[in-house]
Structure 1
Amino acid sequence: MNQHSTITPDVEAAKDGTLLRDPRRPEPKYSLPKAFHHFRELLKDKEDTAEVFKIFESLPSKTFMPRVRALTLSEHGEKLRADEPFLPPILDDHDALRKLPEGSVAHSYCDFMESEGLSAAGLVEEAEKLGNPKYGDLVEWFGFRQRDTHDLMHVLTGYGRDGLGEQCVLLFTHGQSPSHGHLLIGYAGAVQIKKTVKSAAPVFKACRQAHKTGKACPPLVGMSIRELLAMDLQEARAKLNIPDPSWYRECHRVWREEGYDPYDLLAPRKKAEASIAA
């Protein structure tokens, strides 16, 4: 059915007729117990991205729709949607990204994704495991955009994919797009690290720094990702108010000094020391 024919005066839509929020879309239900259940499942396997999405679904943000409306119904949002309808094909075209200048965000992004064996399409596949219906509305475009810039945040902030690095990226994201899901995973994850690893590492200082940085950085969801990828990485960080993640790096220094591998904090000390020596 043509979307234009379904629009009524009380339904908000973009100039091209794309609905802001499809009326068929269920109202999100807030459930902290459900979110904690999925968080416990996530602790069993931090690579289980599907559990992360379920946590966010359990803790919908009251500010989400106002943010979607402000961007997508603006002239800037219209241009972004025309230029960047879906980010994964752009982000996964490493041949094109490698043609951009050395030192660019694009080169660092490719290096990061290739070294970690990741792809933007892979993140989409994880999200689709939930089996959620597609509505083709502006809410969907905005939500996909938030999801698909996650790994780009790792590159811009300098936080790795270790346990603390993931918590820091989520808290950075909360600074940009407030959601109790980001707070739960970010700070509860930090508590779990402190609980399981007896260390002097300043974990909470690292988390607070990430949160503060996210608040100071303009929301990536509203930026031209093509333009951002073409920027020099250091210039992009300066423009976006992203400082060196000093407390995060200090945590890594302390852990290694204590004999822990930051990328496997639950590993025996001997295993960690062997990794360091190598």
Structure 2
Amino acid sequence: MKTLTTYLSKKAEKQKLFVPYIMAGAQGLDALPDEINMLAKNGATAIEIGVPFSDPVADGPIIQEAGLRALAKKVTLKKIIQLLQQFDSPVPLIFMGYSNSFFHYGLKNLAEDLANTDVKGFIIPDLPYEHRDLVLPTFDEADLALLPLISLTSPLERIRTLLAEAEGFVYAVTINGTTGTGKNYRENLDEHLALITEESKIPVLAGFGVSERTHVERFNDCCDGVVVGSKIVQTLQDKGVKETGKLVNSLTNPLKQASAS
């Protein structure tokens, strides 16, 4: 079992998990260490680090705009890794990005350059399960987890296939469409998430559209935690690190209370 999977599974035995997402370099790359420390201080179990890309097919407008800001600041995957090589994160980091960025960098180079960082996993939305062998040999050797996404439209047989070799945590997508706030959830979503959680041997987290305390409390009841992205990205842009810390603390409070009960 890979390091990230072991870490998250042990955490999930004691508390609900909270994984925030931020776009590397949206506020300037030099702001990234402070952002990571703020998230960890306010309850993040692990942190997704977005890699800016010109065609982010899974991202809604808020994260797309954050990526464009980062690209305008000349932020690249290489620069992100160079910074993380000099920074000790309080919690594991997970790169969330697109195939082109990682293949262009070179998988062998990527694994070697991440060896002395806290990046322990990847979410690659445009890499189909059937093509995972393009990265798995390199990732397996480097102890890097490849996290699966499970959509609302996945039938039970497909869910079981995806879960069979799942690593890190299972990203259970809560809406049909891209990331973002203000989404409407379908009526049987809770049952869908509960089914995935029951079938899975590793933690299942709900993500896409999760932006309020009520969302966190709801999904806390049927799976192992949540991923929050667009709300955090927007708050960082509008109000800065301090106010974002307050937001994250307010969202993690239900998780802390659930673990104590």
**Into which bin does the TM-score normalised by the smaller protein fall?**
under 0.3
TM-score, with structure 1 as normaliser:
0.27
Please tell me whether Structure 1 or Structure 2 has the larger radius of gyration of its CA atoms: 1
Return the TM-score normalized by structure 2: 0.28
Q: 1 or 2, which has the higher strand percentage?
A: 2
Q: Which has the higher contact order (CA 8 A, sep 6+)?
A: 2
> Between Structure 1 and Structure 2, which shows a larger proportion of helix residues?
1
